[in-house]
Amino acid sequence: MEYSPPPFFKRGPSLLTRFTFFSLLSVVLLVADARFNYLPLLRQGIAAVVYPLERLSALPASLASRIGDFFVTQSQLQRDNEQLKHQQLLDGAALQAGKALESENQHLRQLLELRERLPREFIAAEMVYSNRDPFTRRVVVDKGFQHGVRAGQAVVDEAGVVGQVTRVFPWVSEVTLVTDREQAIPIQAVRSGLRGVTFGIGYDGTLELRFMPVNADIQNGDLLVTSGIDGTYPPGLPVAVVSNVERNAAYPFARITCTPAASVTGFTQVLIVATTGRPPENAVPDEEPGPKGRKAKK
């Protein structure tokens, strides 16, 4: 500011200098974070400061909900109990059949000298809050590095795949939902056996199956399950159901929209699949869809 009076009182650097300094510092951080992914350690450090504050601010709400839980009525408990017993009976029968099938399967696999599938371990987690960042579809769950959660693990609920763990903090971790724009899952259609990749499009409740030729054997209502070729998601988990197929000969690919199988917006409890396989060291997001997409076209 040229018109300011001579500095009778020492006031430090000028406003414009300070503003420029802090803006440049922010831009350096932004570039380091977005382009080069240099700062997970800094993020972890600050998260350790934020975490207690977050728990503290969540205290009144959790207290209120606990008091609410205390006043559940007797009749409701009875009804739930009845329902659960009934469900257990049904599940028991299914489990019996499943066990028989499993032993038979194991036997057949050994006969074929196939590699046994790795036993899956699950970590039960609860959603704490959905992320405040309006540009992404992410939620925060209450299990972190201390509980054995690692970045890259798949997250499922009782109906299907919910998403994938993307950031791990000591006590919480961040799950990117299947509906996020950057989330891709290799799938296989159950009816036709066709392989492909689903992508989130950033809206609630919709996925897109890209790079499928116009004459691909996909119909409304087809169930898509994880194909397992990526090594991240265990094979056979339901991902989505095809809800609309638009075939236009003017475009090389069909427009296929799907509805996620899991309740992506309304869940509270999830399971984190603790696979023993390690995810690739540094995933390159831009190149990932390419080869998979080509595989899908075959």
Return the structure tokens found at 272.
Answer: 């984190």
Of the pair 136, 206, the CB lying nearest another protein is at 136
Q: What is the closest distance, in whole angstroms, from the C-beta atom of residue 84 to another protein in the complex?
A: 27
Closer residue to another protein, CB minimum distance, 53 or 114:
53
CB 173 within 8 A of CB 155: no
Number of Cβ within 10 Å of residue 272's Cβ equals 25
Query: Is 204 within 8 Å of 179 (Cβ atoms)?
Result: yes
Closest Cα partner for 178 from 255, 258, 288, 242? 258
CA distance 293 to 244: 20
CB 294 → another protein: shortest distance, Å? 23
Smaller CB separation from another protein, 2 or 133: 133
Helices (H) and strands (E) in the chain, counts: 4, 12
Give the residues lining the site for another protein (CB under 8 A).
15, 18-19, 21-23, 25-30, 32-34, 39, 42-43, 46-47, 49-50, 53-54, 56-58, 61, 128-136, 138, 140, 167, 174, 181, 202
Q: Let me know if 207 is exposed, middle or buried by CB neighbors in 10 A (0-12, 13-18, 19+).
A: buried
- Our CB check for another protein shows the closer of 26 and 259 to be 26
By beta-carbon proximity to another protein, the closer residue of 201 and 241 is 201
> Shortest approach of another protein to residue 148 CB, angstroms?
21
d(CA 76, CA 218): 44
Question: CB 59 → another protein: shortest distance, Å?
Answer: 10
135 CB neighbour count, 10 Å cutoff: 9
Per DSSP, what are the bridge partners of residue 253? 213
Residue 167 CB, nearest approach to another protein (Å): 7
C-beta of 133 vs 281, nearer to another protein: 133
Contact 140, 176 (CB under 8 A): no
| Least distance CB 40 / another protein (angstroms) | 10
